[in-house]
Structure 1
Amino acid sequence: MRHPPRSVLAAVAGAVALIGSVTVPVLTASGAVPACSVEYSVTSQWDSGFQGAMKITNNAAAMSSWSLAFDFAGGQKLTQGWNAKWSQSGTTVTAASESYNGSLATGASVSAGFIASWSGSNAVPTSFKLNGTSCNTAVEPSPTPEPTDPADDGPPVLRASGNKLVDAGGATRRLLGVNRSGGEFMCVQGRGIFDGPVDDASVKAIADWKANTVRIPLNEECWLGLSTIDPAYAGANYINAVKDLVAKVKAHGMTPVVELHWTYGQYTGNSAGCSDVHASCQKPMPDMQYTPSFWASVANTFKNDRTVVFDLFNEPYPDRATSTTTQAWQCWRDGGSCPGIGYEVAGMQDLVDSVRGTGATNLILAGGIAYSNDLSQWLTYRPADPAGNLAAAWHVYNFNTCANESCWNSTLAPVAAQVPLVAGEIGENTCAHGFIDQVMKWFDDRGLSYLGWTWNTWDCSSGTSLISSYDGTPTAFGTGLRDHLRALNG
């Protein structure tokens, strides 16, 4: 536990001119409850320093870890703190939960304190964010946003109806488009937020392919603003960049899919992508420490915009860690202590609960095991969704196990007969498009959805890059997807 050293307290007691407590009131609209509230107190102050106290109350979905961010407005400098992991970058102060106080149930509170220096003025911070969500402010509950009219230029509000995706008018819709990689890795590598431009011209280039959907991979540590990430690419800066890209995608009439790609938790077992505990590679399953908080924050950010689709976790592979397929599917749905995985796992049910606990009813995608290539028991282990707005996600490349029509007919067709099916990633590592042509035909014949990997200017001979320039110039591989989308959508 972090407490102020006894010597510091003694010095404060001897030198302080006690000024009492200055508390930031919890400001809410009449009858409204903020997602979180923060009471900030200056409990004592002396010539060059002061002691502060924080009481944080969570009014949203339960979280297993928390991170509070605020800005000092008077040049104050943090010197030490307790009951949280304190840090300061510029004017921004972050207090992240310790291992012993990270769990914060709905309605629960936690307190922390600090000592800081000041000169000139000791202005009280005016805004606070808990896991990226603004505290102390709320508005009267607004009416449920009207679904986007299919005749409008913007994307439709989608929902699962039987095994179809439909819009507000009941018309069947398909998600057809691309992935825009970068948000999952640039920030954790300290190189930025996105890989390449995400300005209006580059987003318009995607729309010019007649794509109607863009999937946006994310990094949970960057979104939550954890202390290991450069603040320039984390927390509010990261969230605002994602929101801006989502807005641009929508402005061009396309559906944004926000997806959790890289997560926390050390895994060094079979097929490990890295040995790093941090979110620097694909892990076999999401972690209970941060992922539920990530999805609660993302859902709170976009719950009033039901055109945004939530893809829970990129490519689960608990099957590489467990002894049996049954154990893998149980881990996938229920999480907890999974064989072969050293951290506590957040199962798909935990993540659905985190999203729905915010009141968000947005469409949710859940990918299967074996890097989302195996849906053989998806229907058996599908998580319960109180909103009834859940679809299956599947990934396929020419080198995957389930990469032929026989497998698709036996394992995909039964799923697609009961729930909407979205191929969140399709691709091949041949710098050609013969394989994805087969995938697209199979999905077209059944009215299903698919998204090409990826709208980045990488070398298609060593990966699956759709473009050689962000103006939309396709690679040989990308030509196949571009021409097909244009033929489908005119």
Structure 2
Amino acid sequence: MSGNKIVTTDGKPYRLLGVSRSGGEFACVQGKGLWDSGPVDQASVDAMKTWNIHAVRVPLNEECWLGVNGSPSGATYQQGVKDYVNRLVANGINVILDLHWTWGAYPNSPDWHCKDEHATCQKPMPDARYAPQFWTGVANAFKDNDAVVFDLFNEPYPDMPADWNKTLGWQCLRDGGTCAGLPYEVAGMQDLVDAVRGTGATNLLMVGGLEWTNDMREWLTYKPNDPLNNIAASWHAYSFNACASQSCWDSQIAPLTQQVPVVLGEFGQDDCGFDYMQRLVNWADSHDVSYLAWTWNPWGCTGGAVLIKDWAGTPEPGLGEGYKAHLLTRSPHGDQFVRDPIIAGGS
């Protein structure tokens, strides 16, 4: 990053524009292999390129990476991730590696929430037991590849177990330790920044906010310290989130974009249409915000947020068709098309 912009190695402003590709976070603990039976070969990457996709966010499973749980796990899982990352980068596509599912029991959670201590579902915060170890391993694997970005934790929501006490939530997010309502020791964002930088990795980092990283109001106040000052703000904005209107984006997100790069790592709408998403990407374009829609998986768009009908990249009607058409008019460099973007490490 340079100021409030992500830049390439030659100093030109650059935006991460693309999709999230789900599978690596859940398939290994659900008996579905590594990528949920979906292809990660050259043909699958070629399909992405027909949409003018320049960045792919890849969610990962902490326990599968470390070999603690799941199948494949350990070295086999790690090699599969490395192979996919290398293929994407070789095709001029930046990769965001996202810590998505983590260890840690949340027994006092609402009935709708998963209570399993293993990395089989979303948790409010990463755990001190495994998360720093996970990021040490990932950083060592990719520290020589500055085309890879590290999204330190998918969607923090430590404010919920703290009975929506935002101050306690922000403190937990940054500092970790013993957090209100969580029985396991938490790894804060500072712990994870330290784990990555301790390997010598200079990769761009992404750090989220509260309320499933839709609440970014105190992000600057609680930003972790990075000796390289190479951290972007990770924001998610679905149509059903609290901050889902232009007035909210103008008041809460626009000021943040003046200080740091903002990456909209996930967004979508819950009726398979594109009207909300169109308003959001138009707003993001006008504020130099990066964005990656959820999700490049052919799951059938009945509840929203599914972009494709098949792995060949046939767009779903509505949101898929709309997003593909929009991406085809965009370039990571604005009006300058670049085939092989590489993100510069350091500030």
Q: For this structure pair, what is the TM-score category when the shorter chain's length is used for normalisation?
A: over 0.9
Give runs of aligned pairs for residues 268-417 of structure 1, distance below 5 A.
268-271=107-110, 273-323=113-163, 324-417=165-258
Distance 2:288 2:114 in 1: 38
Give runs of aligned pairs for residues 402-441 of structure 1, distance below 5 A.
402-441=243-282
Which one of 212, 215, 235 corresponds to residue 74 of structure 2?
235
The secondary structure found in structure 2 opposite 1:243 is: helix
The secondary structure found in structure 1 opposite 2:292 is: strand
Distance 2:255 2:268 in 1: 23
- Structure of larger gyration radius: 1
CA deviation profile, 1:392-437 (whole Å, cap 9, x unmatched): 0000110000000111111111111100000000101111111110
Amino acid across the alignment from 1:220: E
1:463 to partner: Cα distance: 3.5
The secondary structure found in structure 1 opposite 2:221 is: helix
TM-score by length of 2: 0.93
Amino acid across the alignment from 2:63: E
The secondary structure found in structure 2 opposite 1:422 is: strand
The secondary structure found in structure 2 opposite 1:378 is: coil
Distance 2:44 2:270 in 1: 24
* 1:192 paired to 2:46: no
CA deviation profile, 1:130-165 (whole Å, cap 9, x unmatched): xxxxxxxxxxxxxxxxxxxxxxxxxxxxxx111001
TM-score by length of 1: 0.66
Do the aligned residues in 2 keep the contact of 1:429 with 1:460 (CA within 8 Å)? no
Distance 2:150 2:330 in 1: 25
Distance 2:199 2:288 in 1: 32
How many residue pairs match? The answer is: 328
Structure 1 270/405 Cα, relative in aligned 2: closer, same or farther at 3 Å? Answer: farther
Do the aligned residues in 1 keep the contact of 2:297 with 2:308 (CA within 8 Å)? yes
Distance 1:307 1:197 in 2: 22
Tell me what 2:92 maps to.
253
Do the aligned residues in 2 keep the contact of 1:217 with 1:259 (CA within 8 Å)? yes
Distance 2:147 2:39 in 1: 23
Give runs of aligned pairs for residues 32-111 of structure 1, distance below 5 A.
none
Distance 1:282 1:380 in 2: 25
The secondary structure found in structure 2 opposite 1:161 is: coil
Give runs of aligned pairs for residues 134-213 of structure 1, distance below 5 A.
160-195=1-36, 196-213=38-55
Distance 1:420 1:238 in 2: 31
Distance 1:450 1:417 in 2: 17
Higher relative contact order (Cα pairs below 8 Å, separated by 6+ residues) = 2
Amino acid across the alignment from 1:421: V
Tell me what 2:56 maps to.
214
CA deviation profile, 1:274-327 (whole Å, cap 9, x unmatched): 110000000000000000000000000000111110000000011111131100
Distance 2:247 2:298 in 1: 33
Do the aligned residues in 2 keep the contact of 1:179 with 1:455 (CA within 8 Å)? yes
1:247 to partner: Cα distance: 1.1
Tell me what 2:343 maps to.
none
Q: Which has the higher strand share?
A: 1
Do the aligned residues in 1 keep the contact of 2:265 with 2:291 (CA within 8 Å)? yes
The secondary structure found in structure 2 opposite 1:370 is: coil
Amino acid across the alignment from 1:242: V
Distance 2:304 2:277 in 1: 14
Tell me what 1:455 maps to.
296
How much is the aligned-residue C-alpha RMSD, in angstroms? 1.1
CA deviation profile, 1:83-125 (whole Å, cap 9, x unmatched): xxxxxxxxxxxxxxxxxxxxxxxxxxxxxxxxxxxxxxxxxxx
CA deviation profile, 1:147-189 (whole Å, cap 9, x unmatched): xxxxxxxxxxxxx111001111111000000001000000011
Structure 2: which 5+ runs fail to align? 332-336, 338-347
Distance 1:197 1:269 in 2: 38
Do the aligned residues in 1 keep the contact of 2:21 with 2:59 (CA within 8 Å)? yes
Tell me what 1:488 maps to.
330
The secondary structure found in structure 1 opposite 2:120 is: coil
Do the aligned residues in 1 keep the contact of 2:109 with 2:115 (CA within 8 Å)? no
1:456 to partner: Cα distance: 0.1
Distance 2:104 2:35 in 1: 23
Distance 2:118 2:109 in 1: 18
Distance 1:417 1:269 in 2: 39
Tell me what 1:128 maps to.
none
Distance 1:334 1:447 in 2: 29
Do the aligned residues in 2 keep the contact of 1:365 with 1:391 (CA within 8 Å)? yes
Distance 2:113 2:48 in 1: 30
Distance 1:298 1:275 in 2: 26
Do the aligned residues in 2 keep the contact of 1:302 with 1:308 (CA within 8 Å)? yes
Distance 1:413 1:461 in 2: 32
Amino acid across the alignment from 1:458: W
Which one of 208, 222, 225 corresponds to residue 67 of structure 2?
225
